[in-house]
Amino acid sequence: MFGKVNNNEDSKEMQDDLNTLFNWSQDWQIAFNIDKCKVMHIGRRNLQSKYFMNNMELEKIQEEKDLGIYVTDDLKWSKQCLYVYIKANRTLGMISKTICTRDKRMILNMYKTLV
């Protein structure tokens, strides 16, 4: 069986890693845009700890879009599926408004190509 998880130690270790990363960035003169740095807490037993960079608290978020994929703190796909569904319907609407033909095969081929 797995050992007991100590969330306090994990939170402290994460903050130490953030401090080390920030100090490294200062040494190498590579500035972080702290306003774009965010925290997403995943898991039921997560303590929802506050994390800081350069004494600024990092923003807590429930969802983030990265490379066109929505990731949520509950790791469910419903947001991503809804996004893809809406985008596909917009494409179908654009095809129906801009193409004069009503040949089902041609519309289906355009839809498959664009979606």
| Nearest alpha carbon to residue 82 among 74, 93, 90, 92 | 90
Q: Does 3 score more than 50 pLDDT? A: no
Q: Is the dihedral of CA 47, 69, 53, 6 positive or negative?
A: positive
- Reported pTM: 0.69
Q: Looking at this protein, which amino acid is placed at residue 92?
A: L
Q: Does 4 score more than 60 pLDDT? A: no
The full DSSP string for 21-71 is HHHHHHHTT----GGG-EE---STT------EETTEEPEE-SEEEETTEEE
Domain boundaries, the chain: 1-61, 63-115
The mean predicted confidence, pLDDT, of the chain is 88
pLDDT bin (cut points 50, 70, 90) of residue 5 is low
pLDDT bin (cut points 50, 70, 90) of residue 101 is confident
Q: How many CA atoms lie within 13 A of 89 on its CB side?
A: 6
User: Which tens digit of pLDDT belongs to each residue from 25-59?
Assistant: 999 999 999 999 999 999 888 889 999 999 999 99
What distance in Å separates the CA atoms of residue 19 and residue 115, rounded to the nearest whole number?
Answer: 43
pLDDT bin (cut points 50, 70, 90) of residue 63 is very high
Q: Does 1 score more than 50 pLDDT? A: no
Q: Is the dihedral of CA 98, 101, 102, 107 positive or negative?
A: negative
